[in-house]
Amino acid sequence: MAHRKKNRNVGIIGIGQTKHSSHREDVNQPELIYEAVSLALKDANLTMNDIDCVVHGNMELFEMVHQPDLWQVLGTGAYGKDCIRITTGGTVGATISCASDNLVASGMYDIVMAIGFEKLQEGHTTGGITNMADPLWFRKIQSGALTGSSAYDVEREFGLERANRASLTYRIIMDKHAGLNPNAHRSFGLEFSQIDDLIRTSPKLVGELKLIEMCSQSDGACCVIYACEKKAKELTKTPVWIRDHISAHKEECFPIFGYDRKYPVLKTHKFAAEQLFKRNNIKNPLDYFDVFEMYDPATWWAIDWLRDFFALKGDEHLKLIEDKEIMIGGKMPINPSGGVIGSNPIGATALLRVAEAALQVRGNAGPHQIPTPVNHALASGFGGTMWTVMTMLEKELNW
Amino acid sequence: MTTKQKKGFEDSYVVEGKMALPYTYFAGSVGSKFITTVRDEKKIMGVRCPTCNLVYLPPRQVCDKDFTDIRDNWVDVGNSGTVTNFTVVRYDDKHMPRKAPFVLALIKMEGADTPFMHILEECKFEDVKIGMNVEAVFAKETTNTILDIDHFKPVAERASIQERNAGRKKWVADNENAVHGKQKGGKPDMSKPVIIAAALTGAATMRNQNPSVPYTPAEFATEAYKCWKAGAAMVHVHAREDNGMPTHDHERIRATYNAIKDKCPELIVNLSSAVGMGKTAEQRISQIIAVKPDMASLNTNTMNFSIVDRKTGKIFIEYVFENTFTMLQEFGKAMEENGVKPEIECYDMGGLDNTLLIAKQGFFSEPMNFNFVWGVAGGQAFRSDAFIAMMNAIPANANFTTCGVGTDQFPCIMQSCILGGHMRVGLEDNIKMPNGALAKGSYEQVEVAVNIADSLGRAVATTDEARAIMGLRKK
Amino acid sequence: MAEYWGVKVEDIFNSMQERFRPEGAKDVDSLFGYDIKDEGKWKLTVKDNKMTIEKTDDLTGCIATMKADGETFVGVNTGNVDATNAFMGGRVIVDGDMGAFGKTGKLFRKFVIAQKEMTTKDYLADMFATIVPRFKANEAEEGLDVSFAYDLGGPDGGKWTVFIKDKKCTITTTIEGKPTVTLEFNDARDYVDFILGKIDAQSLMASGKAGAKGDLNMMATKWPILFEKYKDPMAGNVPQQELIVLKKIISLNEKFSTGPVMGKFLKGLKEQKIYANKCPQCGRMQLPPREVCADCRVRVDEFLEVGPKGEVRYMDIIYYAMPDPLTGQVRETPYGGINILFDGCKGNETLPHFIRKDQIEKIQMGWNEKKGTRVRPVWEENRIGDIWDIKYFEIDE
């Protein structure tokens, strides 16, 4: 990890997103994208003429449309412009953010627009995900993004009762956060008093993974505009600076989950977080960051991953949840937006983490703005069998 | 394995695979309207970008060139167009809409600026040519896709107006002396091309009477374009608001005028100086001075202009259409001073005589252009002998055209054509076809007028010829 | 009984017969219960493409029972409450066979709330009642003194006069004095249609259904300036646009080259052998074998036969019906996906496959030193070099 030399600083100057929802029959794909793009342009007070390059991405096979970058020009505004398509699975949104950062930092372009979108209702998400596996054998066996293995791990370590309650507590906190976010797809109005009922009644998907614990399937788009330091300072009073980002990828399918403590497996979240914090000289990330927008595809993963991201020991991660320290107003607010469990237009999801974290830094996220000042924000993306992208955002250019 | 394998690759082989995924496509509100209009109304609609003025087909929500939201600007692009390119598909695939071989053509619809792809059938491959005219054949059963237009087929080729005119013009040229010798004072002179004008709206024809009445500038442009393609050299326009009310608002009139000129620059546009009921003299003339059209109507007498039950004679609406001598004089002068040629509307012999009196002041430029209007409740009904009397009363070098309200329309234009005069049709005067069916637009009546000219062996005037005949300024 | 969005709970049940779609009832032969809080219980019987619904306290025999409060039940049926939200949020609970209950979704056409219609009388009352509020006093010029009278015939008709004087507007339900203009309609219904823009004045007059006395021109020019346009209170009830949604299964034929390494693994299956390969650097066994070890970035050449018996280290019970990527059709659930540690492998060197359906309950997962249930492959008779040459694994007793 010797690189990360930026030629110049990069700031986020415009953010736009659609209202995420399960069905958008009233718009086709470019029309959905157009909504987010026009909101981001409006937010940045720019027109399409100011954009030097468009970076566009979504999941492959999810809408069953070939060359979406081409026919979605009607919505992306890329007519006659440089346009780069990126698709890296669930991390795609985070990767287009990294790419946009790199394109501006390198000096290639002054202003770059990143667009992530998905209309999950148009394809078959799980069917699409099965196609990421080796067609010669694993595609025929695997079960999409659904697995109960994390639930099993947490249960085995902390007991079924505590594990289930932590999972549902996390779920209800996300539901409450989503209830504050006007763009969130699903907010059911859940109360902590419903935990026992939900554990009993929510249908099981795979193993202990219940329907209520899984992320939603959403239609939505997100657009973020990146500018070089000079332009960012000219164009806005509140740029959000990108301090650093990291990607950690891993081979497909091979031991994702460990079965034996004598043979530890590489956990990319842990690996990426350690690298990122070390090279930025952050000793205690839990103290340093004011908010974390985490890619949480299911509650079980979320609670398990908290330990990986923040290098927590024993049951510290469960305590954070049980003490509701991850709620807005708590010690480390996780996903004030409601997270992926609240809205999951997959190609946009990881970009939304960056966008929502940036909104928190800017201080105008809306009803889900956390009340204390946000100077340092963290965003993560997750995809593939175990891929991680992390982005660090700062209010001041002072690191 | 038939291919020779390299050492170390003996275990390699090829596995047949398959990928099958359920899939849904949401057409969105713009796409859905396009499909449902094709399906339910057998009508093909595009959208116009107000910024770059292009009409897109298929329609889209956003103009990709200037990123404008254009979703509400629907335009009927007509059901026929021209082939701008084509290919013969000669291989079969299950995803293809037809069994090979078949023709895929890029077709630019009449009212559209972008071509779109469809299947071309009912003609031999070797007869397919770029530039050929084709029309849509709608599917009998819907699939809720673009295939609700089943295919396109060639438009039955009919000699174009130009081709038909050429023969007549040659014959006239060859027999110049013979033709002129027979005619006294130049009338009736059928050797001149006949000018066909289309009055698109008037002030009173509403959509509930005929849904093809244009209201918006874009609709005026589309309708004017169709009339021009059918053979009209001129359109007569009363601009409307979006709700159909006649308007004297300069901006709206100018927008309507410009939309027509943008769509067909050479077409002569004649604006009304009557505008609609209850407008003041100032409202009526200031818009003409502001917009300066090629031509404008000039009304010649104060008269009843009422709505009356033609069966019982009962009066429904009493209205006096005010055109005093002073107005006739001031309007006429204002038009001439602004380079707008007056079309002198005569509702009876009195109006004609009023004009000849005022004309003694000498401000009318030559030639004068008269329009004999028949059938207004307050004016005179159409009579053949009255027509001849009026024709004989106008100055020798003046032109005349004619229009008639309702069932007077077709008889009066036919007589005018025989007498060497010109013809005006359009939904302003009559909403129907000769067989009583609703006209699909003024253009359908233009086609009737063209047929009349054809039957009588008269050439149809191009816009240039019409300008020369009527003494209009160059475009 | 309470009403929600103008609909009673029993309206939904009473309309079921009418909304029933026999084509949606194929293969359904069950009793379904509805338990609506404070409203009562209903039992739906579906059999032989027919249905009956009865209000009863006896829900025995129901394969599934839906529980909700009245507002949620009506809301879900009328589209005012998102069904998924209500279900996920616990406001709708289904006791019993969830999958079977899902089929009720196809049994009925959507419940449509009957639109309350406005009669001619309602409209006339509303139109004249709103005239004074719609008057724009600042548009009236000084000294303007006019009156517009309406004489509307027909059963709902009546007389009205609107006075404008001293920049004030008043209205009476008689015709008084000498109106500037009097509009006469034979039938008040035509007047309503005229104001709603469904028919124009000229057509009405031309057909003798309406006429005017006095200075109609004054009214035609002044009225649109002096009054705001009448807004149809029912205008919100415009039919929603039909949105086109196309559904299909996209199916493509593909060809994959196995390459020499995966080729060896798959061919091995044909011979009932399971091959792994061993990294010369870290010593891990790769299963299926790979050309390189991604951790060490070195070529892996050494193939070793493992298994075919082993122990289960992990099992997922899959309840969620997902499509088979080969056909697009959903698989029957539940089924068990297991990770098998073959004899000769260690740690995480497992291979995923399926367990025999009837043995899901008996499987123990291994963990650290703890051993999982021993399993063995069940081979296909006609093997072609495919992962499905192993039909599934079963407990090795």
Q: Each residue of B333-392: pLDDT tens digit? A: 999 999 999 999 999 999 999 999 999 999 999 899 999 999 998 999 999 999 999 999
Q: What is the CATH number of the domain that holds C94?
A: 3.30.1050.10
What pLDDT, on a 0 to 100 scale, did the predictor assign at position B178? 56
Q: Do C271 and C340 reside in the same domain of the chain?
A: yes
- C228 interfacial to chain B (CB closer than 8 Å): no
Residue of A23, A28, A132 to mutate for B, most B C-beta atoms under 10 A = A28
* 3-class secondary structure, B449: helix
For chain B, positions 127-146, list CB contacts with chain C under 8 A.
144-145
Which residues on B lie below 8 Å from A26 (Cβ)? 26, 28-29
Q: Do B89 and B179 reside in the same domain of the chain?
A: no
What pLDDT, on a 0 to 100 scale, did the predictor assign at position C7? 84
In a domain, B20, yes or no: no
* B310 Cβ contact partners less than 8 Å away, ≥ 6 residues apart: B377
Q: Do B295 and B432 reside in the same domain of the chain?
A: yes
Instruction: Compare CB distances from C199 to B10, B208, B315 and report the shortest one's residue.
Output: B208
Q: What value does the mean pLDDT take over residues A200-216?
A: 87
- B24 interfacial to chain C (CB closer than 8 Å): yes
Last residue of a domain, one of B119, B134, B154: B154
Q: What percentage of chain B exceeds 70 in pLDDT? A: 95
Alpha carbon distance A373, A336 (integer Å): 14
Residue range(s) defining the domain that contains residue C89: 3-106
**How big is the A-B interface in CB pairs under 8 Å?**
70
Last residue of a domain, one of B91, B121, B154: B154
Q: Do B145 and C267 touch (CB under 8 A)?
A: no
Q: Do B294 and B440 reside in the same domain of the chain?
A: yes
Q: Do B384 and B451 reside in the same domain of the chain?
A: yes
Number of domains in chain A: 1
Measure CA of the first residue to CA of the last residue in chain A; give whole Å.
19
Q: What value does the mean pLDDT take over residues A145-162?
A: 87
Q: What value does the mean pLDDT take over residues B88-96?
A: 88
Q: Do B172 and B304 reside in the same domain of the chain?
A: yes
What pLDDT, on a 0 to 100 scale, did the predictor assign at position B278? 76
Instruction: Compare CB distances from B8 to C197, C260, C386 and report the shortest one's residue.
Output: C260
In a domain, B86, yes or no: yes
pLDDT digits (tens, 9 = 90+) for C323-355: 676 666 677 888 899 999 999 998 889 999 999
pLDDT digits (tens, 9 = 90+) for A101-132: 999 999 999 999 999 999 988 887 877 777 77
B326: its two tokens: 């002073």
Lowest mean pLDDT among A22-36, B160-174, B209-223, C96-110: B160-174
Last residue of a domain, one of B121, B154, B187: B154
In a domain, B23, yes or no: no
What pLDDT, on a 0 to 100 scale, did the predictor assign at position B277? 77
Q: Do C158 and C89 reside in the same domain of the chain?
A: no
What pLDDT, on a 0 to 100 scale, did the predictor assign at position A276? 95
Q: Do A254 and C294 touch (CB under 8 A)?
A: yes
Continuous segment of H or E residues that includes residue A12: strand A10-17
In a domain, C369, yes or no: yes
Give just the sign of the alpha carbon dihedral A102, A106, A111, A112: negative
Number of domains in chain C: 3
Last residue of a domain, one of C77, C106, C135: C106
Smallest Cα distance from A221 to chain C, Å? 20
pLDDT digits (tens, 9 = 90+) for A136-149: 888 777 776 678 88
Instruction: Compare CB distances from B60 to A25, A61, A74 and report the shortest one's residue.
Output: A74
Q: What percentage of chain C exceeds 70 in pLDDT? A: 95
Q: Does residue B467 surpass a pLDDT of 90?
A: yes
Q: Do C346 and C270 reside in the same domain of the chain?
A: yes
Q: Do C90 and C192 reside in the same domain of the chain?
A: no
Q: Do B389 and B455 reside in the same domain of the chain?
A: yes
Q: What would the DSSP string read from start to end of A101-157?
A: HHHHHTTS-SEEEEEEEEEGGGS-HHHHHHTTS-TTTGGGT--TT---HHHHHHHHH
Q: Do C276 and C353 reside in the same domain of the chain?
A: yes
Most confident of B17-21, B231-235, C290-294: B231-235
Q: Do B12 and C247 touch (CB under 8 A)?
A: no
Q: What is the CATH number of the domain that holds B355?
A: 3.20.20.70
In a domain, B463, yes or no: yes
Quote the mean pLDDT of chain B: 89
Q: What is the pTM for the complete model shown?
A: 0.72
Question: Could you give the C-alpha distances from B241 to A284, B255, C228, in angstroms and in order?
Answer: 68, 11, 16
Q: Do C142 and C84 reside in the same domain of the chain?
A: no
What pLDDT, on a 0 to 100 scale, did the predictor assign at position B2? 45
A66: its two tokens: 């070939």
Q: Does residue B473 surpass a pLDDT of 50?
A: yes
Query: Which residue in B has a C-alpha nearest to residue A123's C-alpha?
Result: B23
In a domain, C243, yes or no: no
Torsion from C-alpha of A25, A383, A254, A261, nearest 10 degrees: -130
Q: Do B62 and A48 touch (CB under 8 A)?
A: no
Look up tokens 């201080």; give the residue.
A363
Q: What is the CATH number of the domain that holds A321?
A: 3.40.47.10
Q: Do B358 and B414 reside in the same domain of the chain?
A: yes
Q: Does residue B332 surpass a pLDDT of 90?
A: yes
What pLDDT, on a 0 to 100 scale, did the predictor assign at position C5? 79
Which residues on C lie below 8 Å from B202 (Cβ)? none
Instruction: Compare CB distances from A73 to B17, B23, B64 and report the shortest one's residue.
Output: B64
Which residues on C lie below 8 Å from B16 (Cβ)? 253-255
- B436 interfacial to chain A (CB closer than 8 Å): no
Q: Do A124 and B67 touch (CB under 8 A)?
A: no
Residue A332 banded pLDDT, cuts 50, 70, 90: very high
Q: What value does the mean pLDDT take over residues A378-394?
A: 91
Q: Does residue B182 surpass a pLDDT of 50?
A: no
Q: Does residue A334 surpass a pLDDT of 80?
A: yes
What pLDDT, on a 0 to 100 scale, did the predictor assign at position A131? 74
What pLDDT, on a 0 to 100 scale, did the predictor assign at position B250? 93
Q: Do C55 and C28 reside in the same domain of the chain?
A: yes
pLDDT digits (tens, 9 = 90+) for A228-269: 999 999 999 999 999 999 999 877 665 566 788 888 777 889
Q: Do C353 and C318 reside in the same domain of the chain?
A: yes
Instruction: Compare CB distances from B21 to A24, A27, A127 and report the shortest one's residue.
Output: A127
Q: Do B28 and A25 touch (CB under 8 A)?
A: yes
CA nearest B278: which of B250, B243, B236, B245?
B245
Q: What value does the mean pLDDT take over residues B174-196?
A: 66
Q: Does residue A1 surpass a pLDDT of 50?
A: no
Per 3-state DSSP, chain B is made up of helix, strand and coil in percentages (nearest 5) of 30, 25, 45
What pLDDT, on a 0 to 100 scale, did the predictor assign at position C220? 77
Last residue of a domain, one of C50, C71, C106: C106
Q: Do B188 and B66 reside in the same domain of the chain?
A: no
Is residue C110 exposed (0-12), middle (13-18) or buried (19+ Cβ within 10 Å)?
exposed
Q: Do C205 and B316 touch (CB under 8 A)?
A: yes
- B17 interfacial to chain A (CB closer than 8 Å): yes
Residue B187 banded pLDDT, cuts 50, 70, 90: low
Smallest Cα distance from C312 to chain A, Å? 10
Other C-beta atoms closer than 10 Å to the C-beta of B357 total: 12
pLDDT digits (tens, 9 = 90+) for B395-414: 988 999 999 999 999 999 99
Is residue A22 exposed (0-12), middle (13-18) or buried (19+ Cβ within 10 Å)?
middle
Q: What value does the mean pLDDT take over residues C116-120?
A: 78
- B67 interfacial to chain C (CB closer than 8 Å): no
Instruction: Compare CB distances from C244 to B17, B32, B319 and report the shortest one's residue.
Output: B32
Which residues on C lie below 8 Å from A135 (Cβ)? 254, 256
Number of domains in chain B: 2
pLDDT digits (tens, 9 = 90+) for C138-150: 888 888 888 999 9
0.90 surpassed by complex ipTM: no
Alpha carbon distance A132, A138 (integer Å): 9
More confident residue, B308 or B470: B470
Q: What value does the mean pLDDT take over residues B210-229?
A: 91
Amino acid at C318: I
What pLDDT, on a 0 to 100 scale, did the predictor assign at position C392? 95
Which residues on A lie below 8 Å from B19 (Cβ)? 131, 135
Provide the β-strand partners of residue B105. Answer: B86, B118
Q: Do B234 and B368 reside in the same domain of the chain?
A: yes
* 3-class secondary structure, C230: coil
Cβ atoms of residues C148 and C181 within 8 Å: yes
What pLDDT, on a 0 to 100 scale, did the predictor assign at position B32? 92
- C75 interfacial to chain A (CB closer than 8 Å): no
Query: Which residue in B has a C-alpha nearest to residue A219's C-alpha?
Result: B26
What pLDDT, on a 0 to 100 scale, did the predictor assign at position C79? 77
What pLDDT, on a 0 to 100 scale, did the predictor assign at position B181? 46
- B396 interfacial to chain C (CB closer than 8 Å): no
Q: Do B109 and B218 reside in the same domain of the chain?
A: no
Instruction: Compare CB distances from C322 to A144, A156, A266 and report the shortest one's residue.
Output: A144
Q: Do C265 and C376 reside in the same domain of the chain?
A: yes
Q: Do C328 and C358 reside in the same domain of the chain?
A: yes
Residue B158 banded pLDDT, cuts 50, 70, 90: low
Quote the mean pLDDT of chain A: 91
pLDDT digits (tens, 9 = 90+) for B409-435: 999 999 999 999 999 999 999 999 999
Q: Does residue C54 surpass a pLDDT of 50?
A: yes
Q: Does residue A395 surpass a pLDDT of 90?
A: yes
Residue B45 banded pLDDT, cuts 50, 70, 90: very high
Residue range(s) defining the domain that contains residue B99: 28-154
Residue range(s) defining the domain that contains residue A210: 1-399
pLDDT digits (tens, 9 = 90+) for C246-256: 888 778 888 88
What pLDDT, on a 0 to 100 scale, did the predictor assign at position C1? 66
Smallest Cα distance from A176 to chain C, Å? 12
Q: Do C129 and C95 reside in the same domain of the chain?
A: no
Q: Does residue B144 surpass a pLDDT of 70?
A: yes
B125: its two tokens: 């491959």
For chain B, positions 266-295, list CB contacts with chain C under 8 A.
277-278
Quote the mean pLDDT of chain C: 86
